[in-house]
Amino acid sequence: AAGVIQSPRHLIKEKRETATLKCYPIPRHDTVYWYQQGPGQDPQFLISFYEKMQSDKGSIPDRFSAQQFSDYHSELNMSSLELGDSALYFCASSATGDQNTEAFFGQGTRLTVV
Amino acid sequence: DAKTTQPTSMDCAEGRAANLPCNHSTISGNEYVYWYRQIHSQGPQYIIHGLKNNETNEMASLIITEDRKSSTLILPHATLRDTAVYYCIPLPPFLSNTGKLIFGQGTTLQVKP
């Protein structure tokens, strides 16, 4: 079965550079979530989109932005990268309904800022 | 959002049942209890969820107390591949919530040979 695809799997950037992470949800899933997981930390919710509109926002820095496109894929744009942005970034997708359904996570993008 | 309390860590012998408890005494009447796990550095994986009835699927069973203040995830025959961090997460129905998951501390389950 198709899963959530994230690219790239690994990314190395220098301080003050920009990075773009991509997420391709499971077909027919209309909601995408982004999470950040620092070393030894639990995943932290950043932002979500439902039907291409931002639906919720968590602890996402102003330097980061995201969007969901017409084909439902999503991109997380990160500018002025800092050393503290080094983390695993997970994307998840779900199909909404009248009650919650489970979210499926991708394998993540490991971002290293040097 | 309901607060949860889980043991920091637990050990289990391979082949035995693993019982992972979670206290969620402030859970609201319409909040489901979801369980996810994260195997080292992989994306979190959905396991099971329930509202007030016990639930079972191919991965696990979920026992929710009658007052809904706590639940137990049961892995009936733990294997080494079940070694992971297990998260218990209350979640309101979609219409009251966007579906975001708030990951708390979780329980690190170590399955030993």
Among A100, A104, A111, the residue to mutate for chain B (most B Cβ within 10 A): A100
pLDDT digits (tens, 9 = 90+) for B6-46: 999 999 999 999 999 999 999 988 899 999 999 998 999 99
What pLDDT is attached to residue A61?
Answer: 96
B49:A100 CB<8 A: yes
Q: Angle A34-B86-A101 (CA atoms, 0-180°, nearest 5)?
A: 50
What pLDDT is attached to residue B60?
Answer: 97
- B13: closest CA of chain A, how far (Å): 25
What pLDDT is attached to residue A97?
Answer: 64
What pLDDT is attached to residue A2?
Answer: 80
- B32: closest CA of chain A, how far (Å): 9
Tokens 């639906």 belong to residue: A55
What pLDDT is attached to residue A93?
Answer: 94
Asked if the model's pLDDT at residue A1 lies above 80, the reply is no
Q: Minimal CA–CA distance to B113: which of B11, B10, B9?
A: B11
Asked if the model's pLDDT at residue A72 lies above 90, the reply is yes
Asked if the model's pLDDT at residue B1 lies above 70, the reply is no
**Complete DSSP assignment for B19-48:** EEEEE-TT--TT-EEEEEEE-TTSPPEEEE
What is the rounded average pLDDT of the residues A58-69?
96
Q: Which residue of A has its CA nearest to B39?
A: A107
The pLDDT > 70 percentage for chain B reads 95
**A interface with B, Cβ–Cβ below 8 Å:** 4, 31, 33, 35, 42-45, 48, 50, 55-56, 58, 88, 90, 92, 94, 96-100, 102-108, 110
pLDDT digits (tens, 9 = 90+) for B35-76: 999 999 899 999 999 999 899 999 999 999 999 999 999 999
The pLDDT > 90 percentage for chain A reads 86
B99:A94 CB<8 A: yes
Residue numbers in A near B42 (CB within 8 A): 107-108
What is the rounded average pLDDT of the residues A93-110?
84
Is residue A16 packed enough to be buried (19+ CB in 10 Å), middle (13-18) or exposed (0-12)? Answer: exposed
Amino acid letter, A28: R
> If pLDDT is split at 50, 70 and 90, which confidence band does A33 have?
very high
Amino acid letter, A1: A
Q: Minimal CA–CA distance to A91: which of A38, A45, A59?
A: A45
- B104: closest CA of chain A, how far (Å): 7
